[in-house]
Amino acid sequence: MSDAWLAGRVVENRHWTETLFSLRVEGAPLEFEAGQFVRLALDVDGERVARAFSFVNPPSDPVHEFFGVVVPEGPLSPRLARLAPGQTLYLAKRAAGFLVLSEVPDAQTLWLLATGTGLAPFLSILRTDAPWRRFRRVVLVHAVRFARELVYQELISGLKRPEFSYLSFVSREAHAGSLAGRIPAAIADGRLEAAAAVPLAAADSHVMLCGNPDMLRDAQAALAERALRKHRRRAPGHITVESFW
């Protein structure tokens, strides 16, 4: 094994649907900040194939958890989905990424907007103290194609407190209790802030976006209409993004 990799042991591979899975991995001690990712790898035909995966677990939990979707033609995700308890996968020794609260300026409301597996880093963040210490309101939004993809309901229910709201979007079927359509349209027409019952405005909000790059682009355009702009260390703003592809 090269110096750059740790060998982790799969302890669980939970299949939520035919395409969504969560891997739990132990034996790979790694330091990271909630919201970061690490490269996971398998050896395929003698070559190590590696892809970034966000931690679902908080840093205090030594068993790492990753939430994945099978991209059928992809070189790594179908193989990760087939891993069984006891099998080995490799984790890069260093975690990375800027979708972390230490990079986010103070605000009244923290909005966490995800499509698909982009939910993962927000679950890690929400299981630390920082969001509850720093923000008066925290709104988690998960957008999926089908209702069966609204996973991690038990974990999310466990986050219940007065300052927390959880909203979902289901785009390809009607689903009671979820908003219809896509996140950017609901930002533009005011449905998102109405559902959360909190303003989405530059004066009081910071928005973290994760998942599909088209959602990131369209949501940033809708947020720009509300005068929210990308946050940079040298030019503080209101939006932090992480694209999954």
Ligand X SMILES: NC(=O)c1ccc[n+]([C@@H]2O[C@H](COP(=O)([O-])OP(=O)(O)OC[C@H]3O[C@@H](n4cnc5c(N)ncnc54)[C@H](OP(=O)(O)O)[C@@H]3O)[C@@H](O)[C@H]2O)c1
Which region among 4-12, 39-47, 105-113, 165-173 touches ligand X (by CB under 6 A)?
A: 165-173
Considering only residues 186 to 215 of the shown chain, the ones binding ligand X according to CB under 6 A are 211-212, 214-215
Sign of CA pseudo-dihedral 104, 57, 7, 84: negative
Which of 46, 72 has the CB closer to ligand X?
72
Using CB distances below 5 to 8 A depending on partner kind, what does residue 215 bind out of ligand X, ligand FAD, none?
Answer: ligand X
Q: What DSSP string runs through 7-65?
A: EEEEEEEEESSSSEEEEEEES------TT-EEEEEEEETTEEEEEEEE--S-TT-SSEE
Which region among 67-75, 119-127, 195-203, 220-228 touches ligand X (by CB under 6 A)?
A: 67-75
Which of 79, 134 has the CB closer to ligand FAD?
79
Q: Does residue 218 interact with ligand X by CB under 6 A?
A: yes
Q: What are phi and psi of 207, to 5 degrees?
A: -120, 125
* CB-closest chain residue to ligand FAD: 74
Vertex 175, ends 174 and 178: CA angle to 5°? 120
Q: Does residue 172 interact with ligand X by CB under 6 A?
A: yes
Vertex 155, ends 139 and 85: CA angle to 5°? 135
Rg (the chain; Cα; Å): 18
Site track for ligand FAD across 70-89, x = CB under 6 A: -x--xxxx------------
Label residue 75 left, alpha or beta by phi (over 0 means left) and psi (-120 to 50 means alpha).
alpha
Using CB distances below 5 to 8 A depending on partner kind, what does residue 75 bind out of ligand FAD, ligand X, none?
Answer: ligand FAD
- Is residue 92 a contact partner of residue 38, using CB atoms and an 8 Å limit? yes
Q: Does residue 36 interact with ligand FAD by CB under 6 A?
A: no
Which of 76, 198 has the CB closer to ligand FAD?
76
Q: Residue 209 forms beta bridges with which residues? A: 113, 241
Q: Does residue 182 interact with ligand X by CB under 6 A?
A: yes
Q: What are phi and psi of 167, to 5 degrees?
A: -125, 145
Residue choice 6, 11, 52, 202 for contact with ligand FAD (CB under 6 A): 52
Q: Residue 44 forms beta bridges with which residues? A: 47
In angstroms, the Cα distances linking 202 to 65, 76, 140, 223, 240 are 34, 39, 18, 9, 13
Minimum gap (Å) between residue 239 Cβ and ligand FAD: 17
How many residues bind ligand FAD (CB under 6 A)? The answer is: 21
Which of 37, 135 has the CB closer to ligand FAD?
37
Q: Does residue 67 interact with ligand FAD by CB under 6 A?
A: yes
Q: Given the rule CB under 6 A, which residues bind ligand FAD? A: 37, 51-54, 66-69, 71, 74-77, 97, 116-117, 120, 242, 244-245
